[in-house]
Amino acid sequence: MAVLAFVLIFAIATATATATASPAYTSTTDPKELAAAAAAARALVNASSWGVVSSINYLEKSSPFGNALSYSDGGSGTPYFYLTLLDMATANFSRADARSSLSLSEYALGTCGTLDPQEPTCVKVTLSGVLKKLDQESEEGKFANATLFERHPRFKFLPPVAKFQLYKLEIKSVFVLNGYGEPKFPSVKMYRKIKLVE
């Protein structure tokens, strides 16, 4: 009886340890599935014009904060932003932690039909990385400015006093949910290589 109890306790302890030690899912390594996920991500990033930028920049020791912001990628895969230091995402940008992520849902495009926003077949993408200020005179700065003002024509009415500046999300990881099963993590390299189809 004592032996049985011990075995049982050991089994429970092992199961608990396994549950806490390993993540709830593992990403596929199948190149075709990863390429399809990367393509879905690039298409959603290009088709959307806004998303939620989460950062831990605002107010020291505060909770992670999600902020709905306009962006444009100009077809490049890199999200560009036009932000003021009055914005929550950038308030602590230069002094603290610039790690940020951009989350998008296909639901916002109106193309998920009767699906619930949370259903995996309604594509969801989170790009994680670092929010970086761009030099507006650099090639990338000029590209970012052009695509932002093209995609968001009303930016030209923003008050100069708020000192809007160009930023980009330098992507370090790509999370994609584009079907049933586990989320997928295509590499940034794979994500970048995707050619958008018109």
Interface positions with ligand NAG (CB under 6 A): 46, 49, 59-60, 72-75, 91-92, 95-96, 136, 145, 147, 149-151, 156, 196
Q: Which is nearer to ligand NAG, 27 or 46 (CB)?
A: 46
- Are 102 and 188 contacting, i.e. CB atoms less than 8 angstroms apart? no
Instruction: Output the smallest distance, CB 52 to ligand NAG, in A.
Output: 15
Q: How many CA atoms lie within 13 A of 124 on its CB side?
A: 15
Residues 6+ apart with CB under 8 A from 53: 66, 67, 68, 69, 81, 89, 100, 101, 102, 131, 169
Instruction: Output the smallest distance, CB 162 to ligand NAG, in A.
Output: 14
Q: Which is nearer to ligand NAG, 179 or 196 (CB)?
A: 196
What amino acid is encoded at 62 in this protein? S
Looking only at the bridges linking them, the beta strands covering 50-55 and 80-83 are: unpaired
Q: Which is nearer to ligand NAG, 91 or 171 (CB)?
A: 91
Q: How far apart are CA 194 and CA 171, in angstroms?
A: 15
Instruction: Output the smallest distance, CB 78 to ligand NAG, in A.
Output: 10
Q: Which is nearer to ligand NAG, 33 or 45 (CB)?
A: 45
Instruction: Output the smallest distance, CB 161 to ligand NAG, in A.
Output: 16
Closest residue to ligand NAG in the complex (CB) = 75
